[in-house]
């Protein structure tokens, strides 16, 4: 066995070329630690001598260092504390380094990990390194030059990731503020439309709520439910472009007046089309008056050509129209409404969506009543 001496440490090489360090207490006390640069590094190696040497080396370089000899303890430390980087031995007991990373990646995808190997032939397969998102690895050496370069490169990457995250957070905050401001502006337009006619007040709110009820029954995602809600709120926004003389007319509309009314989906889509935040609801706004048999407007789409969310909104919109009081009629009784929805399956409505809503009316009617009382 060959011994070598260095002013800062004594170490020797065993037959597997795996480096073990023994650091003298007297030498350790003389090492001056640099001020911390704020980055926290945890090193994991089941040989205490290597942990001691890394501690001296990294603290002297200004890093906040934590050393652990038990890989299972290291997993718990990472789970409960923040670290910027992990330096990890591959061959350890009771579990190897790749198993440690496997566990850590279950709850921490961001930790920057460098893997140390006693010999290049002992390194894990490249596919494992990629799969576990291990950012780098190097062989152990009697000098830390290569490791230091990897650490410094890793810290630069961490700095960039932190900066990108900070910028994304700021942009997200700004976007949310802009989105709220735009929503508030369009909401004002919506209230302007509904304020014209007391009989339609609350209509868009109810259509939004009914649409969400249907979406929930269909098992749609939270994101899809949000689209249905916003689409329901703004589905009639195009009525801002319809003359009051037509919109508020109490008697029967002429063919020309009805043609103008039928322009409101296109007008609404035009109002919202340049706002990125409304792209997902444009199909609802533009196509909620299409019919399943192709006789609707404005595009005379048929069957599944009609956007799915627009087919949901069509049922909700028609239901609210039938159950709301008008100047020329009272609200239609619920049993008649159900018969009408059933009758229009496959002609006006998507049959599966109509059946879903009828099931809600038959088994969850109290939710419908709550919405009607609320708005």
Encode pLDDT of 283-315 as tens digits.
999 999 999 999 999 999 999 999 999 999 999
Identify whether residues 125 and 220 lie together within a single domain: no
Residue 236 to residue 66: CA distance in whole angstroms? 61
Structure tokens at 72: 């299972």
Q: Does 361 score more than 50 pLDDT?
A: yes
With cut-offs at 50, 70 and 90, classify the pLDDT of residue 327. confident
> What are the distances in angstroms from CA 250 to CA 7, 166, 263, 299?
99, 57, 19, 28
Beta-bridge partner residues of 67: 43
Looking up tokens 């990646």 gives 105
Residue 131 to residue 54: CA distance in whole angstroms? 27
Residues 57-86 have a mean pLDDT of: 94
Identify the helix (H) or strand (E) that includes residue 352: helix 351-363
State which residues form the domain around 38. Answer: 2-159
167 in any annotated domain: no
Residue 186 to residue 209: CA distance in whole angstroms? 18
Nearest to 312 by CA among 354, 279, 374, 282: 354
Identify whether residues 203 and 349 lie together within a single domain: yes
Identify whether residues 252 and 282 lie together within a single domain: yes
Identify whether residues 194 and 304 lie together within a single domain: yes
Identify whether residues 144 and 178 lie together within a single domain: no
57 vs 42 pLDDT, higher one: 42
Residue 347 to residue 292: CA distance in whole angstroms? 5
Structure tokens at 289: 């008056």
Identify whether residues 152 and 224 lie together within a single domain: no
- 219 sits in the region (left: phi over 0; alpha: psi -120 to 50; else beta) called left
202 in any annotated domain: yes
The full DSSP string for 307-346 is -HHHHHHHHHHHHHHHHS-BTTBPPPPHHHHHHHHHHTBT
* Structural domains in the chain (count): 2
Identify whether residues 154 and 244 lie together within a single domain: no
Round the average pLDDT of the chain to a whole number and report it. 85
Could you give phi then psi for residue 36, rounded to 5 degrees?
-65, 140
Q: What is the pLDDT of residue 85?
A: 95
Q: What is the pLDDT of residue 217?
A: 97
Q: What is the pLDDT of residue 25?
A: 42
Stated length of the chain: 375
Residue 90 to residue 96: CA distance in whole angstroms? 6
Sequence-ordered strand ranges (E) for the chain = 2-5, 10-13, 19-22, 40-44, 64-68, 85-89, 112-117, 136-139
Q: What is the pLDDT of residue 119?
A: 64
Looking up tokens 């670290």 gives 83
Identify whether residues 275 and 344 lie together within a single domain: yes
With cut-offs at 50, 70 and 90, classify the pLDDT of residue 120. low
Could you give phi then psi for residue 87, rounded to 5 degrees?
-110, 125
Q: Does 4 score more than 70 pLDDT?
A: no
Domain stops at, among 130, 159, 188: 159
Residues 68-85 have a mean pLDDT of: 95
């Amino acid at each position: 066995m060959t011994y070598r001496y260095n002013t800062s440490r004594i170490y020797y090489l065993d037959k597997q070329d795996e480096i073990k360090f023994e650091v003298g207490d007297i030498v350790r006390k003389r090492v001056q630690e640099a001020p911390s640069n704020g980055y926290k590094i945890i090193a994991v190696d089941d040989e205490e001598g290597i942990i001691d040497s890394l501690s001296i080396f990294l603290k002297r370089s200004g890093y906040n260092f934590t050393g652990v000899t038990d890989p299972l303890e290291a997993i718990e430390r990472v789970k409960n504390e923040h670290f910027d980087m992990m330096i990890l031995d591959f061959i350890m007991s009771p579990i190897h380094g790749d198993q440690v990373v496997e566990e850590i990646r279950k709850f921490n995808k961001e930790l920057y990990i460098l893997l140390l190997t006693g010999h290049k032939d002992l390194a894990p397969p490249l596919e494992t390194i990629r799969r576990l998102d291990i950012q780098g690895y190097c062989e152990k050496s009697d000098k830390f030059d290569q490791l230091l370069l990897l650490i410094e490169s890793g810290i630069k990457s961490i700095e960039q990731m932190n900066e990108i995250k900070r910028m994304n957070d700021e942009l997200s905050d700004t976007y949310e503020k802009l989105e709220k401001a735009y929503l508030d502006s369009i909401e004002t337009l919506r209230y302007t439309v509904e304020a014209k006619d007391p009989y339609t007040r609350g209509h868009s709110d109810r259509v939004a709520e009914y649409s969400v009820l249907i979406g929930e029954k269909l098992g749609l995602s939270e994101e899809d439910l949000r689209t249905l809600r916003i689409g329901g709120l703004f589905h009639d926004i195009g009525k801002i472009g319809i003359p009051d003389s037509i919109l508020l007319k109490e008697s029967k509309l002429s063919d020309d007046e009805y043609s103008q009314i039928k322009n409101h989906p296109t007008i609404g889509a035009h109002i919202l089309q340049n706002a990125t935040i409304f792209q997902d609801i444009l199909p609802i706004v533009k196509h909620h008056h299409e019919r399943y048999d192709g006789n609707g407007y404005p595009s005379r789409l048929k069957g599944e050509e009609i956007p799915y969310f627009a087919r949901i909104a069509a049922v909700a919109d028609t239901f609210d129209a039938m159950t709301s009081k008008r100047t020329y009629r009272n609200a239609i009784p619920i049993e008649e409404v159900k018969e009408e929805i059933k009758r229009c399956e496959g002609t006006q409505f998507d049959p599966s969506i109509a059946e879903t809503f009828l099931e809600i009316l038959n088994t969850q009617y109290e939710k419908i009543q709550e919405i009607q009382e609320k708005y």
